[in-house]
Structure 1
Amino acid sequence: MTNDPTAAPGSDPSEENPWAMQLVVLRDKHALAREVDVCEAAARAVVGLLDDERAAPGGPWNQAIHAWADGGRIRKLVRRADGKRWDDVQELPGVLVTQAGPEGFGPAGVRAFPPCPEHPLPKTLSKLQMGGTVFPSEHASAHTAAQVLIEVTPLEQITSGKLAAQCAHAAQLLYAALDEPRRAQWRADGFRVEVRWPDRGEWAANPRPVSVVDAGFTELDGPTETARAVWRADLES
């Protein structure tokens, strides 16, 4: 299952007012989270939002999610906040995931919001910075027993903010492909994922059923495969 945003309505920044899901990451310069924890928290927040009862038919988020996702519209924009600005965004409807880091690092926090047109946004979101979001590149996941494995490309240099969006894309596509018994298993585990960085040989030798191809409108030069996902039990079958 491959997602290529180059073919997806709503992914081209030349569109007048494309839809996007806004993600806000906690970036506390006094207690920075690790990149791996931010990426995992972003994946969990997005899947948690899609699985939320408010996203179900009849729920207040359902129509917005379908308007965004139908036809492949899964554009995500990652912003950063700390202090009062982080506290302020918690007042907006959404799904928050926090994930503890190891000693010496702060917790990762990501809040996902229901998709909407990019303009206008609530001021608490629109004033937050997007580009250049970077976290320490510590890549040893604490979730090696998670039921979902997400792998990110070793071939490109990608900022932490954009990488979080790519991991969230991969998690969303896998969630969409799962049957309800597997969704229930994942739900019971808090939608945990393990994000890992394979080496070049492993990346070349091990394609996965879910693949994310970024359109290359921002950091990357042209369409680029950025992330993959797989249900871990399928690796053992």
Structure 2
Amino acid sequence: MSILAPLAARYASWLALPADQTNQVETAPELVRAMPVILRIERDPVPSRTALLEAAAAAAIAVCLDPRSEPEGEWHEPVSAWVAGHIRKVSRRARGAHWQAAQAFPGVTVEVGGAEVRALVPELVVETPKEISRLQISGSELPADEPDAIPDGVPVLWLNPDVPLTAGKAAAQVGHASMLLAALLDEPDIKAWTENGFRCAVRTPTKAQWATLHPGNDPGGAWQNRRVIAVRDAGFTEVDPGTVTVLAQWRA
């Protein structure tokens, strides 16, 4: 069974929840798990926002599908425990020596277009190492950029055009999107995506495109017919509970 199977099983029911119930989490604070997502944001050069988000999406799923996350692997227990609950992510920014220090912790670093992100193995939030917890969560905003045309053969993660997100929040959301997408793919598609380094494109659609892609009340049909899934946020930070932040579209 895929380590992401619990996520696939919850997908449709999560989308069906009333908005005010999406953040009713009863987990005791000392049991909350999260994946730290470290964004390398140097003063010079400043990374491209789009490239940084594409790296974040790839890094998150790379941790989940790494051989070390398989049943006999050293990461299996923490990753499976996290996926079985709420897939929280905490984006933090780092530069210089702090970025280098983050490389010592278990995880995967992905580089896209000169932008680097390291997703760490999920852990209990209360046990976050001080070298990671001291990295700032705020201040991760980056200017909008004009990305190139979408490459052939990569999935597209569409950001909600009506919901402004900081780069840190968007990094967590596209990481959720890549995981949900992988949870629903079959083995041949997973194999092909793995061989491509989990590359994807992050773009902002027009409002008309977003409305056309949105699964609405038929998430199963949207996946079967259009290969589209939705990320619905619990609303702990930046956005209201139940907000759909990203639509992920598989393009083989």
Choose which of 105, 110, 114 in structure 1 pairs with 2:121. Answer: 114
- Aligned residue pairs, count: 225
- How many Å separate the matches in 2 of 1:75 and 1:48? 16
Q: 1:146 to 1:43 in 2, by over 3 A?
A: farther
User: What secondary structure, in the 3-state scheme, does the structure 1 residue paired with 2:156 have?
Assistant: strand
- How many Å separate the matches in 1 of 2:23 and 2:138? 22
Residue 142 of structure 1 deviates from its aligned partner by 6.2
Residue 127 of structure 1 deviates from its aligned partner by 0.5
Q: 1:113 to 1:57 in 2, by over 3 A?
A: same
Residue 207 of structure 1 deviates from its aligned partner by 2.1
2:241 match: 222
Residue 13 of structure 1 deviates from its aligned partner by 8.7
Is the contact between residue 98 and residue 110 of structure 1 (CA under 8 Å) also seen in structure 2? yes
Q: Which has the higher helix share?
A: 2
| RMSD after superposition | 2.1
Is the contact between residue 13 and residue 217 of structure 1 (CA under 8 Å) also seen in structure 2? no
User: What secondary structure, in the 3-state scheme, does the structure 1 residue paired with 2:177 have?
Assistant: helix
Letter in 1 for 2:50: V
2:201 match: 194
Letter in 1 for 2:80: H
Residue 144 of structure 1 deviates from its aligned partner by 2.0
5+ long unaligned stretches in structure 1 = 101-106
- How many Å separate the matches in 2 of 1:142 and 1:82? 29
Residue 69 of structure 1 deviates from its aligned partner by 0.9
Choose which of 212, 232, 238 in structure 2 pairs with 1:213. Answer: 232
Letter in 2 for 1:222: P
- How many Å separate the matches in 2 of 1:220 and 1:17? 24
Deviations 1:75-133 (A, max 9, x none): 00000000000011111111000112xxxxxx211001111110121111010000231
- How many Å separate the matches in 1 of 2:103 and 2:61? 18
- How many Å separate the matches in 2 of 1:219 and 1:93? 28
Is the contact between residue 63 and residue 119 of structure 2 (CA under 8 Å) also seen in structure 1? yes
Letter in 1 for 2:242: P
Q: 1:161 to 1:86 in 2, by over 3 A?
A: same
2:107 match: 94
Q: Aligned pair 1:46/2:53, yes or no?
A: no
Where does 1:1-237 land on structure 2 (aligned, <5 Å)? 1-2=11-12, 3=14, 7=22, 15-71=29-85, 73-100=86-113, 107-141=114-148, 144-207=151-214, 209-233=228-252
Residue 31 of structure 1 deviates from its aligned partner by 0.6
Stretch moving more, 57-66 or 14-23: 14-23
- TM-score, length-scaled by structure 2: 0.83
Deviations 1:174-206 (A, max 9, x none): 011111110111111111001110011111112
- How many Å separate the matches in 2 of 1:224 and 1:158? 12
- How many Å separate the matches in 1 of 2:115 and 2:149? 13
Q: 1:191 to 1:158 in 2, by over 3 A?
A: same
- TM-score, length-scaled by structure 1: 0.88
5+ long unaligned stretches in structure 2 = 1-10, 216-227
- How many Å separate the matches in 2 of 1:13 and 1:159? 26
User: What secondary structure, in the 3-state scheme, does the structure 1 residue paired with 2:248 have?
Assistant: strand
Is the contact between residue 22 and residue 79 of structure 1 (CA under 8 Å) also seen in structure 2? yes
Using the aligned pairs only, state the percent identity.
36
Letter in 2 for 1:18: V
